[in-house]
């Protein structure tokens, strides 16, 4: 696999994003909602940099199954969400691809009487968006390639890699 973003560059950018988030939420309690499973490593590294009053919640949303590299039907499982009513929420995902997942999740969270909602993504894939959506925080813009590592997978493999790489024989 060809390394697209090395581990040290990811860690540097995550720290920069954390500083930006800390400035934005310095006086407000925050709930970060990570989208399972791809955002777990990003979420863990990000919160280690945050000295904020915060809670962590999780929501499962998936449109990729098994060995596919193209999105299918989106399924959302909110069972792991904490009470969000009146909370400031940061929805954190691994990648903004077509935008369908994030738009649906934002719509879902906005029905929960939250105080505010912002979104953050580690990666934004250039040229793939099918809906107009701009995340509040973006780690990296990447080309239209199927990437793995740092939480992103192919057939539930490669999440453990500390870097981001383009999957061979995409």
User: Is there a catalytic annotation at residue 141?
Assistant: no
Q: What are phi and psi of 86, to 5 degrees?
A: 80, 0
Which residue is catalytic, options 27, 45, 97, 156?
A: 97
Report cis status (omega within 30 of 0) of the bond before 37: yes
Residues whose CB falls within 8 Å of the CB of residue 137, separated by 6 or more in sequence, listed in order: 17, 20, 21, 90, 118, 119, 120, 121
Distance of CA 98 to the CA centre of its chain: 13
Q: Which residues are catalytic?
A: 97
């Amino acid at each position: 696999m060809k390394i697209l973003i090395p581990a040290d560059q990811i860690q540097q950018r995550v720290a920069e994003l954390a500083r930006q988030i800390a400035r934005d939420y310095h006086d407000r309690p925050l709930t970060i909602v990570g989208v399972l499973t791809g955002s777990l490593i990003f979420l863990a590294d990000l919160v280690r940099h945050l000295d904020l009053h915060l809670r962590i919640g999780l929501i499962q949303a998936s449109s990729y199954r098994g060995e596919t590299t193209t999105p299918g039907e989106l399924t959302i499982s909110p069972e792991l969400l904490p009470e969000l009513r009146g909370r400031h929420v940061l929805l954190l995902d691994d990648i903004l691809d077509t935008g369908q997942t994030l738009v649906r999740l934002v719509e879902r969270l906005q029905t929960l009487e939250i105080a505010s909602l912002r979104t953050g993504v580690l990666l934004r894939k250039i040229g793939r968006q099918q809906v107009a959506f701009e995340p509040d925080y973006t780690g990296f813009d990447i080309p239209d390639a199927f990437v793995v590592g740092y939480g992103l997978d192919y057939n539930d493999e490669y999440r453990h890699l500390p870097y981001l790489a383009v999957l061979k024989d995409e």
